[in-house]
Amino acid sequence: MKNVKKSYGQDENLVHVLKGIDLCLNKGELCVMLGPSGCGKSTLLNIIGGIDSCDEGQIFVDGKDISQMKEKDLTKYRRFHLGYIFQMYNLIPNLTVRENIEVGAYLSDNPLDLDYLLRVLGLYEHQNKLPHELSGGQQQRTSIGRAVIKNPEILLCDEPTGALDYRTSKDILGLLEDINEKYGTTILMVTHNDALAHMADHIVRIKDGEILSDQVNKKVSIKQIEW
Ligand SMILES: Nc1ncnc2c1ncn2[C@@H]1O[C@H](COP(=O)(O)OP(=O)(O)OP(=O)(O)O)[C@@H](O)[C@H]1O
């Protein structure tokens, strides 16, 4: 990302949310992005994910500048390169666990095997349930399955454990760690939880729309992290 800027509103309501972000993420790394509420983390994630656009600057993914892409190419970029995990799971209420995950597979030329993934996610026994019949952790595992089944190169996670209890959060973060190691998926995870910095290869701190610090880290497994 080169000098990425974004504002919302106009005149007296103009808010400069991102004030010139320069950031380089390496392929295959697990990057944790930290910062106080309202500092611009989700905005940055949405711009990288091609859901929102920047006002100025460039975002190169594998050498292609997504800030210059037309909607058709952006759709392809989102479809073939990206997985997105939200704090609220956004599952389709009238589809089963299996079908919710299958939706992600339709978006890929190279999906992972659905039965295999259901087992990895610990959802095999729950595959015929509807979202309202699941716990929060099971719902989040389903949404991770939907994002991961297309085997994306980049996984963007916005507070993926924000709505979960401690034990379930640890399980979910362990799953993301496994996905990063097993498939070499580049992961960018936004969180309020400072302790999660320890599980990252790369720690980025944001404050008031600017990068406060950008450091490499010798990571430890989430199993060894307490908070
Ligand atoms: N669509 C929008 N229109 C107007 N203002 C917006 C919009 N989206 C975000 N903002 C503002 O931009 C600022 C940054 O929001 P953002 O969601 O990126 O912060 P954040 O760091 O992710 O916060 P949190 O940790 O609370 O999720 C906030 O002041 C927010 O009110």
In the chain, % helix, strand, coil (3-state, to 5) comes to: 40, 25, 35
Contact 106, 146 (CB under 8 A): no
The length of the chain, given as a count of residues? 227
Indicate the pTM of the whole model: 0.93
Phi and psi torsions of 208, nearest 5°: 45, 45
Q: Which residues contact 121 (CB under 8 A, 6 or more apart)?
A: 141, 142, 144, 145, 175
Report DSSP state, residue 111. Answer: P
Using the atom order of ligand 1, give the atom closest to the CA of residue 39: 21
ipTM associated with this complex? 0.95
Q: Per-residue pLDDT tens for 40-97?
A: 999 999 999 999 999 999 999 999 999 999 999 999 899 888 999 988 888 999 999 9
Ligand 1, CB cutoff 6 Å, lining residues: 8-9, 15, 17, 35, 37-43
| Ligand 1 centroid from CA 50, angstroms | 16
Distance, CA of 158 to CA of 154 (rounded, Å): 13
Residue nearest to atom 20 of ligand 1 (CA): 38
| Ligand 1 centroid from CA 37, angstroms | 8
Q: How many CB atoms lie within 10 A of CB 102?
A: 16
Q: Give me the chain's average pLDDT, please.
A: 93
For the chain, list the domains and their CATH numbers.
2-224 (3.40.50.300)
Using the atom order of ligand 1, give the atom closest to the CA of residue 9: 4
Distance, CA of 41 to CA of 35 (rounded, Å): 7
